[in-house]
Every structure is written in C-alpha cells, then in structure tokens.
C-alpha cells in the first residue's frame, strides 16, 4: 500500500442535499486520503452521483462542510470552475467534452490564461501527454472522429494534466474494453503512486477489487460505512450495497431454469443486412431467450437494430410467425409485435421532459395511431399498473422521467414495451449502468416473460448475465456471426474461445 | 484478448478534413464556379467592376452574415439585425442633420460612434436577457427587432428623414473610393481615350476587414474557441470550466456591434438617410448566407470565411438574375429559395457520403457517429 502518510486530501462531513420529493443525501461523511484509490459504491439512487456533483459544484449543498488539502478553511465550491481551481477534477460517465473541437482543444479549453490561443504549443503539449499516457489519438484530430473509449481517455488525460489533488472517475470503464480498462488501471495506479487521491465510481465489482484500496458504501442517500478493501469480501460488499442478504442471487439461480422455448419460430431472417451490418441469418423460437455476444464493436447492436429496422435495411428476407414480412422501419416492426429497448437510453430511449406516464404509453399510442387517443383514465391505469409491477421508484407518474435514476428510467422504457405486449422483445444492454439489485430484477423479469411465451433477445456486455439468462448465444466477431452456443457449450471459456476464434 | 487498434498516432501531415472545413470549401468552390459560369455566359460579367459592385453593395450583408455566424456557432440566433440596421440609419441621419458639429471628419467619427453604440446597446440588452435569464434567443431577438423598428418610427415620427443636398456624404464617398484604372473600361471618342476606372468602395474594405478580424477572433482567441465549445455541447462546455453565460453574452454583444457597423456602412454607401422600411428581411438573407457558407443552425460548426462566400453567392445570384432581364423581386426571392434548398440538400449529401452512406440533414442534431458494441 503506497498510502504511507494517512493524510486526508478531502474531507466531507454531514453533507445533505434535498431534491423535490426525495432526500438525495442525508448527513453523508466521506474522507479521501493522499495516494489512495477509493471506491464509492452504492445502488442507483444511493446518492453517489449527487455526492460527486456536490463535490464538483454542479449542485449546491443544503448542509455540511467540505475541506480540501491546501485550501484554508472550508472549501467554497459553487461551480465546476471552483472545484478545478482547488484541485478537484472529474471525468464523468457521459463524456463531457466538445465533439466539434480537436483533441488538443478539448485538453486545454477552459483552463488557459490570457485571451489568445497558442495552437502550436497546445498541439505540442497534447502530443506529449497522449504519448506519455499511450492514448491512440492525435492532437489535431477532431474529437468526434475518435472512438468513445478514446474520448474517455482524452477526458482523463485532461484531468491528469491539471495536476489535480482529487481525481473523480465516475463510471470511467463502462465504455472501455478489457484491454483499455487495464490501461486505465495502470494509469490510476501510477497517479496514486504520485500522491493523487482518486475517487472511483463503478458498477463492476471485479474492477473495484482489482484496483481500489478502500471502499465507501452509500445506500438511499445515507452512509453505510467505509472499509479497507481487504476487510470487505465481495459478497459482503454486495450485501451492504443492497441492504439485504444474498437470497436474491440464490433466488435467481433457482429461477434459472432457462427457457429453451417451443418449436414454433416467431422470427426468422435470412441474409438480413443493413447499412451498418453484414448479411446474417437468425431465428428465434417462441418463449426462447437468446443473446448476441462479442467484443465491443463486434456488431451485436447493429444486428438487432437491423432486425428492428432501426438502421436502413439493405437486403434479406424476413419471416414473422411463418409469414413473409417487410421490416424497414421501427413502426413496421412494432406492428409485427417486435419491441426494442435501445442500448443508449438517453439518446434513443427516454423523452426526458415528458412524464413517466407519457413515456410509458408512448409506444402503445404509436401502435394505436394518433387518431385514436387514449383517455386519461386509461393512461393512468396503465402507468399505475406498470409502476407497481416493475417497482419503479418515482415521486408520481407525472414526474419528468429525466429526474429519475438510471435504473428506474430503464424500467420505464421496459414498461413502455411490455405495455404493447410484443411477441418478441429485443433488450440491448438493459442492465448497463444500473445497480446490482435492478440488474437482477431485470434478469428475473426476462426469464419470467420467456416462461409466459415471449421471445427475448438479451444483449449484455457482462457474460455472466448472459449465461444466467440465455439458452442460446450467438457469438460475433468483426461484424460476422462466428458461432452459436447452446446447452453445455454455454461456459465462459467456450465463449472466449469462440470470440478469439482463429486469432490465437 | 486484445483489440487490434490501428496506430492512430502515426505522424500525419494533414488531418482528415472536418465537416466544417469541407462545408467552407464547398461554398468557396460554388462561388468561384458560379462566377466563372457567369463570366463566360454574360457579357457584363467580364467587367471586374461587377465583382466590386457586388462587394460594395452587399458589404452590409457580409458584415451581418458574420454577426449571425458568431451567434449561430454559439448555438443561438439573432433576427434583430435588420431592425438594428434600420434604427442605426435613422438615428445616424438625424444625428448628422441636427448635431451641429461643423468639422466633417469629426462628424463622421461621431456618427460612427453613435452607430456602434446603438448596436452595442441592443446586443448587450438582448445578450443579457438570453444569457443570464435564459430566455429563448429567437423570442428575445424577435422582440428586439420590433423594438428597433418601433423606436425608428417614434424617433422619426413615421416620416423619412433626408439630409440636405449639401450633405457631406458625397464628398466622403468620393474621397474614400479606390479607383483602379487597370481594371476599368476604355472608350475612345473623337481620338481621345477615356478611362472609366473600376471603383472599389471603402465599405468593401471594411467588410473584408471584418471577415478577416472575426475569423482571427474565432480561431485564435479564448472567446472564439469558447463560442465553438458552447455551441458544440453546452453542458460539456460548462463542465470544462467555460463561463457559458459570459461567452454567450459576448456573442450577442459582438453581433450587436456588427449590426450597428452594418447599419453605418449601409447608410453611408447608399446615402440612404433614415427610412422606416430599411433593412426588411436582412436578417433572413444573413441567415441564408451563413447556412450556405456551412454554418449549422444546431451550433458549433461554421466560420465567417464560409459566410463571406455565402453572402457573395447570394449577391452574385442577384446580379445574374438582374442581367438576365428578370428584374422583378419575386424572381430574386425564388432564386434565393431554390439556392438555399439546393445547398442544404447538397451539404447533407456530401456529409452523408462521408459518413458511411447515411444521409441526414446537417441540421439534424446528434449525428450517429459514436459506435458501440
């Protein structure tokens, strides 16, 4: 452990933050020491994001005090700029850089002195930083031309270059592949050894144990406790986060009779292709749960988007329930009984300013056509039913969905599709960025739906989740289907081998 | 398992063109091609004077196109520029008539100061409402447009104000003209050679200077880059530590100042005096010029060089129509409309061909450029 001097760089005491309808933070304490990686854990709605936003000045706090090493008295943080000035840098889950500017500009904008821009020195310095951190980008490249992972790394490089005392990484790994995660961890350890305090927020438990020194757990806006990582086994961590024992996990394994489905084919595609994916064959049976797996960028999402007609379909033949069908836009897919929960719920899923009720009935309304409006009572009844059934945590059905936590937003989108009673539901990364408890709920729900006769395609980047839910896995590599695994073949090792294929 | 990543750090002399650069190049090319075709097919266009006529007459448009570009790059809009031009013309004319300043040079500079002050006041007022109270820019500047026109009518009592015949305009204009005999036309009458020199007016010089200065400001100053950042992604810009409100305020202030300058230029060049109907639809022409020049209404993309070409394309089009004998206003309107349509479609096709065969309007927000699993 490199944190020999047990000196706090950041002390937060008694932080309270109230939002309309919810108490987001209630008397929370947090301490970060010099040269440690401190994991901040909790389910969705536990208050991690709020705590970080208070710390970085995005939200004001209602009560409590913050002290930062090197700053006299209580730190006054009223804006991200204030936070930056006293040495607190943040890399958010959503990339907070400007896509229309160059990499070098994104590194330096908002933190240079003087009214003029020196492009030459900026580009030179950026090239040095990128090289020292081994980031595959060029200084003069426009940021939008970089992959999501590289954009994330640029954001981290920016924070690193600011010589921050406190570096906050909010879900930094959710869009990186394993290799990139390792690179990031190397960087984090390097920074730790230089004495930077790092707050690491993530949903991946393994990653917490791989890199952290200390763990703080929050639940429902309150502090549960703080432990050195060695004193808190993984199972116990999950229990603390969920505030209950692990019966639920066991529960799922018990439910875990995977649904193979009947012989009836619900959907079949031959040679289906779109502008985004190469031709592929695919079929799914009634009551079956299958999945697409593969590395980032292997074409999992693109394939299901083609099935739903979300990208421009360029060829292939599609049969739905034994009948020839043309699905070239989402509306036609919906008419044929196909539902699609998109990967990026912020962009393709939620309508942030509309209420929970309106978001729930959206798809059904489209199906009915806009000339057959539903009555208010009908809508409220539907919304109520699904808010209860999926245990959506919301102040009321009129709350704008944007103010819900990620997991609850996801449940609302799920409710939207369930309401249309699809025969075939495609779930693309339904568990991304949401807490362990909700993940389990969603997996259990998938299995239950399949039991009731719905066919489900389930995509997740966590292989364990796929193994728990899917009875058939389609493995993709470089936009091609390279294998199909069923029954005994469904093991991590076999999947890895199939993905790796001839590249050994 | 490692992903195979092409080594992106390989030294490259030139980066791949960005969409923004490409759009500017397109508008520049279109202007050149269009002008060449006009030169080849219309006799009058062979005179260089026609080009100068365009830049002289449309100098105001070039300036307000710059004003609009700045605001649009920052993700806003300003439709009060025409109204401000009208008000500036009126106030400046009244000022010159009644101020009692005897020295003509002093009067010129004082009038110039009045014009800039009016523009700055409007820019600051609108900018404050839009940035600090976070009201929709369209609504505020619509209000600004009405306010400017209303003020014009109140100040003038609804009548046009003209300067007396011995006004100093003519003298100034003559002094400040740049005569270029080499580009002029020659006539030989009764054995004598008369040279009719090409005339480049000082307003052209001002307009070009504005384009160059604003280009440099947008490219090499903190303010300029911050404007691109807030237009590209306002929330990110805030997170990156940019003072979004101040930057936005500055864009409106600068566009107000440029509107005042455009009003001054318009009045001086046309010797227009104050009329309540001046500057109608100028804002729309300026928006059209910016868009043709590659500025996106969604913000974050565009530059004033493109807008300059946009204004020149509109000006050239008017001249072509004029020389074609279609002198009614509706032909010009239709040509503008068709032109704008063609440009938008062409921009989206070009950008679409670059982006994996997907065709989407450049206006459409959130281009699907992020690839995931």
pLDDT tens digits along A194-232: 788 999 988 777 788 889 999 999 988 889 889 998 888
Low-confidence spans in chain A with pLDDT less than 70: 1-6, 21, 44-45, 175, 242-261, 295-297, 433, 500-504
Identity of the residue in A81, A98, A347 whose CB atom sits nearest the CB atom of B229 = A98
Least confident residue range of A239-253, B92-106, B162-176, B279-293: A239-253
CATH of domain A8-247: 3.40.50.300
How far does B353 lie from chain A, in Å, by closest CA?
A: 12
The pLDDT of residue B169: 66
Identity of the residue in B239, B357, B370 whose CB atom sits nearest the CB atom of A148 = B370
- The token duo for A380 is 């409220």
Number of domains in chain B: 1
The pLDDT of residue A244: 56
How far does B240 lie from chain A, in Å, by closest CA?
A: 6
Over 80: is that where the pLDDT of B296 sits?
yes
Domain that holds residue B323: 19-353
Of residues A481 and B127, more confidently modeled: B127
Over 50: is that where the pLDDT of B5 sits?
no
Spell out which residues of chain A touch residue B6, defining contact as CB-CB under 8 Å: 136
From residue A14, give the alpha-carbon distance in Å to each of A50, A57, A77, B71. 14, 16, 16, 44
Over residues B176-198, the mean pLDDT reads 77
State whether A297 and B366 contact (CB < 8 Å).
Answer: no
Measured distance CA(A161)–CA(A324) in Å, rounded:
58
The pLDDT of residue B131: 93
Checking ipTM against 0.90, whether it exceeds it is: no
Taking only the tens place, the pLDDT of each residue in B206-235 is 999 999 999 999 999 999 999 999 999 888
What residue of A is the nearest CA neighbor of B221?
A116
- Which of A109, A276, A462, A496 has the highest number of chain B CBs within 10 A, making it the mutation to test binding with B? A109
Measured distance CA(B32)–CA(B320) in Å, rounded:
14
> Is B373 part of any domain?
no
Measured distance CA(A173)–CA(A156) in Å, rounded:
11
Measured distance CA(A460)–CA(A481) in Å, rounded:
16
DSSP B46: G
State whether A95 and B236 contact (CB < 8 Å).
Answer: yes
- Which of B12, B18, B240 has the highest number of chain A CBs within 10 A, making it the mutation to test binding with A? B240
Identity of the residue in A98, A111, A144 whose CB atom sits nearest the CB atom of B236 = A98
Which domain CATH number covers B311?
Answer: 1.10.3470
Task: Return mean pLDDT, chain A.
Answer: 82
Least confident residue range of A310-324, B61-75, B78-92: A310-324
Measured distance CA(A24)–CA(B331) in Å, rounded:
62
> Is B358 part of any domain?
no
Measured distance CA(B49)–CA(B251) in Å, rounded:
35
**Does the pTM of the predicted model rise above 0.80?**
no
Over 60: is that where the pLDDT of B6 sits?
no
Structure confidence at residue B362 as a pLDDT band (50, 70, 90): very low
Cα A293 from chain centroid?
A: 17
Domain ranges in chain A? 8-247, 252-259+287-299+330-503
Identity of the residue in B228, B242, B373 whose CB atom sits nearest the CB atom of A110 = B242
> Is B185 part of any domain?
yes
State whether A148 and B220 contact (CB < 8 Å).
Answer: no
How far does B21 lie from chain A, in Å, by closest CA?
A: 11
How far does B237 lie from chain A, in Å, by closest CA?
A: 7
Identity of the residue in A117, A130, A500 whose CB atom sits nearest the CB atom of B221 = A117
State whether B225 and A275 contact (CB < 8 Å).
Answer: no
Spell out which residues of chain A touch residue B254, defining contact as CB-CB under 8 Å: none
Question: Which position has the token pair 């710390």?
Answer: A55
The pLDDT of residue B118: 96
How far does A97 lie from chain B, in Å, by closest CA?
A: 5
Task: Return mean pLDDT, chain B.
Answer: 83
User: For residues A39 and A200, is the Cβ–Cβ distance under 8 A?
Assistant: yes
The pLDDT of residue A394: 82
State whether A116 and B220 contact (CB < 8 Å).
Answer: yes
Domains A8-247 and A252-259+287-299+330-503 share a fold: yes
How far does B223 lie from chain A, in Å, by closest CA?
A: 7
Measured distance CA(B373)–CA(B1) in Å, rounded:
16
For the purposes of burial, counting CB atoms within 10 Å of the CB of A504, is it exposed (0-12), middle (13-18) or buried (19 or more)? Answer: exposed
Bridge-based pairing of strands A289-294 and A313-320 is unpaired
> Is B369 part of any domain?
no
CATH superfamily of A252-259+287-299+330-503: P-loop containing nucleotide triphosphate hydrolases (3.40.50.300)
Identity of the residue in A111, A117, A142 whose CB atom sits nearest the CB atom of B241 = A111
State whether B226 and A110 contact (CB < 8 Å).
Answer: yes
> Is B236 part of any domain?
yes
* Partners of residue A16 on adjacent β-strands: A63
């Amino acid at each position: 452990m490199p944190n020999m001097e047990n000196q706090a760089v950041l002390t937060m005491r008694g932080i309270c933050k109230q939002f309309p309808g919810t108490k987001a933070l209630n008397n929370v304490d947090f301490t970060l020491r010099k040269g440690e990686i401190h994991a901040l854990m909790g389910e969705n709605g536990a208050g991690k994001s709020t705590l970080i936003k208070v710390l970085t000045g995005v939200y004001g706090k209602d009560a409590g005090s913050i002290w930062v090493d090197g700053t006299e008295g209580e730190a006054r943080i009223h804006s991200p700029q204030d936070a930056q000035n006293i040495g607190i840098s943040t890399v958010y889950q959503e990339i907070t850089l400007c896509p229309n500017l160059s990499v070098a500009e994104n590194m330096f904008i908002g933190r240079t002195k003087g009214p003029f821009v020196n492009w030459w020195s900026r580009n030179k310095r950026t090239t040095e930083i990128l090289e020292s951190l081994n980031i595959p980008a060029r200084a003069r490249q426009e940021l939008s031309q970089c992959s999501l992972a590289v954009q994330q790394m640029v954001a981290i490089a920016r924070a690193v270059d600011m010589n921050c005392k406190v570096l906050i990484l909010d879900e930094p790994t959710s869009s990186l592949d394993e290799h990139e995660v390792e690179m990031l961890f190397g960087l984090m350890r390097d920074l730790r050894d230089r004495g930077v305090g790092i707050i690491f927020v993530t949903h991946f438990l393994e990653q917490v144990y791989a890199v952290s020194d200390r763990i703080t757990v929050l639940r429902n806006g309150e502090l549960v406790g703080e432990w050195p990582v060695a004193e808190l086994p993984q199972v116990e961590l999950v229990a603390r986060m969920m505030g209950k024992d692990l019966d639920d996990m066991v529960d799922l394994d018990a439910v875990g009779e995977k649904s193979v489905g009947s012989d009836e084919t619900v959907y079949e595609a031959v040679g289906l292709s779109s502008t985004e994916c190469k031709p592929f064959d695919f079929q799914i049976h009634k009551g079956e749960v299958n999945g697409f797996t593969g590395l980032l960028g292997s074409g999992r999402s693109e394939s299901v988007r083609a099935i739903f007609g979300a990208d421009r379909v360029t060829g292939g033949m599609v049969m739905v329930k034994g009948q020839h069908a043309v699905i070239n836009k989402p509306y036609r897919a919906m008419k044929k009984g196909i539902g699609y929960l998109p990967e990026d719920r912020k962009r393709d899923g939620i309508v942030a300013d509309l209420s929970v009720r309106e978001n729930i009935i959206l798809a059904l309304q489209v199906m009915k056509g806009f000339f057959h409006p539903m009555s208010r009572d009908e809508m409220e009844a539907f919304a109520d039913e699904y808010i209860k059934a999926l245990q959506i945590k919301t102040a009321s059905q009129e709350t704008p969905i944007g103010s819900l936590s990620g997991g609850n937003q996801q449940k609302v989108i799920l409710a939207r599709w369930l309401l249309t009673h699809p025969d075939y539901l495609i779930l693309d990364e339904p568990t991304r960025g949401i807490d362990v408890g909700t993940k389990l709920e969603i997996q259990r729900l998938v299995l239950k739906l399949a039991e009731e006769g719905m066919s489900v395609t389930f995509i997740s980047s966590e292989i364990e989740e796929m193994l728990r839910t899917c009875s058939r896995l389609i493995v993709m590599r470089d936009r091609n289907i390279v294998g199909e695994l069923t029954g005994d073949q469904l093991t991590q090792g076999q999947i890895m081998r199939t993905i790796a294929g001839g590249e050994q | 398992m490692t992903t195979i990543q092409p080594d992106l750090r390989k030294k490259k002399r030139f980066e791949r063109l960005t969409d923004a650069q490409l759009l500017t190049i397109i508008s520049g090319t279109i202007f050149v091609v269009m002008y060449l075709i006009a030169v080849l097919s219309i006799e009058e266009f062979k005179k260089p004077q026609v080009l100068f006529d365009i830049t002289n007459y449309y100098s105001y448009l070039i300036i307000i196109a710059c004003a609009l570009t700045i605001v649009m790059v920052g993700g806003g809009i300003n439709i009060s520029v025409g109204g401000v031009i009208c008000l500036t013309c009126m106030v400046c004319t009244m000022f010159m008539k009644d101020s009692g300043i005897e020295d003509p040079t002093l009067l010129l500079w004082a009038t110039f100061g009045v014009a800039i002050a009016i523009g700055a006041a409007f820019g600051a007022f609108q900018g404050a409402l839009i940035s600090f109270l976070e009201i929709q820019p369209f609504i505020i500047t619509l209000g600004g447009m009405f306010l400017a026109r209303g003020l014009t009518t109140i100040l003038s009592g609804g009548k046009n104000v003209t300067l007396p015949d011995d006004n100093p305009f003519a003298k100034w204009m003559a002094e400040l003209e740049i005569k270029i005999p080499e580009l002029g036309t020659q006539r030989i009458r009764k054995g004598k050679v008369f040279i009719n020199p090409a005339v480049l007016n000082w307003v052209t010089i001002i307009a070009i200077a504005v384009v160059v200065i604003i280009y440099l400001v947008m490219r090499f100053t903190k303010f300029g880059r911050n404007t691109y950042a807030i237009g590209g992604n306002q929330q990110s810009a805030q997170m990156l530590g940019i003072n979004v409100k101040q930057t936005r305020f500055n864009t409106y202030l600068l566009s107000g100042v440029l509107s005042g300058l455009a009003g001054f230029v318009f009045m001086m060049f046309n010797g227009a005096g104050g009329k309540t109907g001046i500057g109608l639809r100028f804002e729309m022409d300026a928006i059209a010029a910016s868009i043709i020049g590659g500025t996106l209404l969604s913000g974050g993309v565009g530059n004033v060089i493109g807008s300059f070409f946009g204004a020149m394309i509109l000006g050239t089009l008017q001249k072509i129509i004029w020389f074609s004998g279609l002198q009614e206003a509706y032909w010009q309107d239709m040509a503008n409309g068709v032109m704008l349509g063609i440009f938008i479609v062409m921009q989206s096709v070009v950008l679409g061909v670059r982006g994996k065969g997907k065709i989407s309007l450049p206006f459409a927000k959130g281009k699907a450029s992020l690839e995931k699993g």
